[in-house]
């Protein structure tokens, strides 16, 4: 797999969000949970603005949520929980893709 392809996989795109949606549907999450997580991941996508998701940007995202003054700590924790869920599922998905390629 090329470096460019690896980078594309780490970008939070509509395609990745839809793959995530399908994964959590298969996990039999409630519709409200799915909708909330997907909505929250779109917030992360908007923050990243096409940049590759890195630990540093993830930290900046959390700091941005905290400093903007629009969200309660409970809401921020919910956004971070959704983002962590997304990262975990996409890591598992990415590892499966790598095993298929190699």
Q: Report the domain count for the chain.
A: 1
**CATH code: domain of residue 69:** 1.10.150
| pTM score | 0.81
- Reported for 3-7, long-range contacts at CB under 8 A and 24+ positions apart, including other chains, are 7/52
pLDDT tens digits along 68-94: 999 999 999 999 999 999 988 887 766
Range of the domain at 33: 3-101
pLDDT tens digits along 42-52: 999 999 999 98
Tell me which residue of 37, 52, 41, 38 sits closest to 7, measured CA to CA. 52
């Amino acid at each position: 797999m090329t470096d460019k392809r690896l980078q594309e996989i780490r970008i939070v795109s509509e395609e990745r969000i839809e793959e995530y949606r399908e994964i959590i549907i298969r996990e039999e999450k409630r519709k409200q949970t799915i909708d909330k997580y997907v909505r929250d991941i779109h917030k992360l996508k908007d923050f990243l603005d096409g940049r590759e998701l890195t630990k540093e940007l993830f930290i900046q995202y959390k700091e941005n949520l905290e400093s903007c003054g629009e969200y309660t700590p409970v809401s921020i924790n919910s956004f971070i929980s959704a983002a962590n869920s997304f990262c975990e599922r996409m890591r598992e998905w990415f590892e499966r893709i790598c095993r298929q390629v190699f």
